[in-house]
Structure 1
Amino acid sequence: MPALPLLQLPGGAELIIVLVVLVIGLAILVGSILATYWVYKDATRRGDDNAIIWTVLTALGFFIGLIPGLIVVAVYALVVRK
């Protein structure tokens, strides 16, 4: 019995690759939405007047890429939150 029955199908290996890429992409999308939401909720809870600016910067960072988005979240968490 094969470990991965999809490999027995024509194009099965490619299907597995596509599914893995889709799952990873979905996880990154959900993670970036949750991080942006966290920045907004944390900034508003702290009474920060720039909560919308931080939210937009975080969303733009994740729109550019994963690393820039994580950098914006790290700057917010380490510098602004103190």
Structure 2
Amino acid sequence: MLPLQFGIPGGPELLIVLLLFVLSLVVPFVLAYYIYTDAERRGEENGALWAVVAGLAAIVATPVGGLLVLLVYVLQRD
């Protein structure tokens, strides 16, 4: 059985950084997809705009920014 780091110095740390990097790419798309589908289902005109804003906020301001946009979207919808 191979060790976790496969003989690479800093292997576990690199795996953690890679996991965080992948999550920082996945969260914006998941938020944008959820907001867009919810807005389309409710018949909102600006569904694509909300999705783009949530995705960009999650990329630029970390996933916390995207979650804040999601909170504002949920509070403002009918």
CA RMSD of aligned residues (A): 2.1
2:3 aligns with 5
1:17 paired with 2:22, answer: no
Percent identity between the two aligned chains: 33
Q: CA deviation at 1:10?
A: 5.7
Q: How many pairs does the alignment contain? A: 76
Letter in 2 for 1:76: Y
1:69 paired with 2:34, answer: no
What's the TM-score, normalizing by structure 2?
Answer: 0.79
User: Which structure has more RCO (C-alpha within 8 Å, separation ≥ 6)?
Assistant: 2
The separation in 2 between residues aligned to 1:37 and 1:8, in whole angstroms, is: 36
5+ residue gaps, structure 2, are none
Equivalent runs, 1:30-49 vs 2, <5 Å: 30-49=26-45
2:55 aligns with 59
Q: Select the structure of larger CA radius of gyration.
A: 1
Structure 1 stretches of 4+ moved >6 Å: none
Q: CA deviation at 1:9?
A: 3.2
Change (3 A) 1:10 1:38: closer
Q: CA deviation at 1:60?
A: 1.4
